[in-house]
Amino acid sequence: MTRQPAVARRAEQLLGAAVVSTSPVAGGDISTATKIRLSDGSLVLMKALSPARDDFVAAEVRGLRWLAESGTVNVPEVLAAEADCLVLRWIEPGRPNAETAEELGRALAGLHSTPVAGFGAERDGFIGRLPMPNKPTETWAEFYAVRRLLPYLRAARDRGAIDADGADCVEQVVGKLPSLVPEEPPALLHGDLWNGNVLWDRGGDAWLIDPAAYAGHREVDLAMLALFGLPHLERAMATYEETTPLAEGWEDRQGLHQLFPLLVHAAMFGGGYGSRAATVAARYL
């Protein structure tokens, strides 16, 4: 068993329990993750940030607790949170299966049925490394335009990840949003629901991690799952639809609600995400 002294000391300070062993966890480009075994045999995950980012940690904790309070989805328990690190109950990874994908569909339907007031959130948050504005607006069309599409379009354009013609396509879609998106009450969203933020445990149950929670249109969470490929997605969506049917034409709107994560990826990584966003936007002109 290995033991990283600095990590172990910090965990012991926060948790008041002796650390037996530590092991690094792969993945993630924002924090350094470590699996820690405590003297009572329990396992935790420490996510350490350098330099410390109190705003970043606080946003993740708010999101996790907001989702947990809904009583609908599995999220890791927050054990400790400081500006330099977040400690969560460890979830032993496993494999998904069709039956538990159906359970995830029901859980997401419940999450999206959680009563929330208005589109947005009380505080701004983060999506990956990028700031995520959450100031409330009265309609989803306005919120999606000014809080989700335009900020990341600007960021993508500033780094040269989308050309002028592509940006013009997206801006034209923004102008048409009131006629493209159906009116629905706001839903509590995970906010960054790509496949990598759905963790399947050893029993096959799904846990949601790394949220960017806010109140928005439920089709955004579902469109993101489809964009990056959730295992057994068809089974999860069938159960979701049985529980809380979506507005007619939702499949045709998937691309519209995938513009947000595509532009975020263009702003963060460049590559072909900007041109992909422009191609998707052109479908709605």
* Active-site residue set: 192
The answer, yes or no, to whether the previous bond of 51 is cis (omega within 30 of 0) is yes
Provide the strand spans (E) within 161-271: 187-189, 198-200, 206-208, 214-216
Strand 19-25: give its sheet, edge to edge: 19-25, 32-38, 43-48, 85-89, 78-82
109/97 Cα distance (integer angstroms): 19
* Beta-strand runs (E) in 26-137: 32-38, 43-48, 78-82, 85-89, 125-127, 130-132
Can you read off the two tokens belonging to residue 230? Answer: 């959730």
**Residue 96 structure tokens:** 């998904």
Tokens standing for residue 236: 């999860």
DSSP reduced 3-state for 227: helix
Whole-number Å distance between alpha carbons of 135 and 122: 7
Tell the burial category of 167 from Cβ atoms under 10 Å away from its Cβ (0-12, 13-18, 19+): buried
Is the distance from CB of 79 to CB of 15 less than 8 angstroms? yes
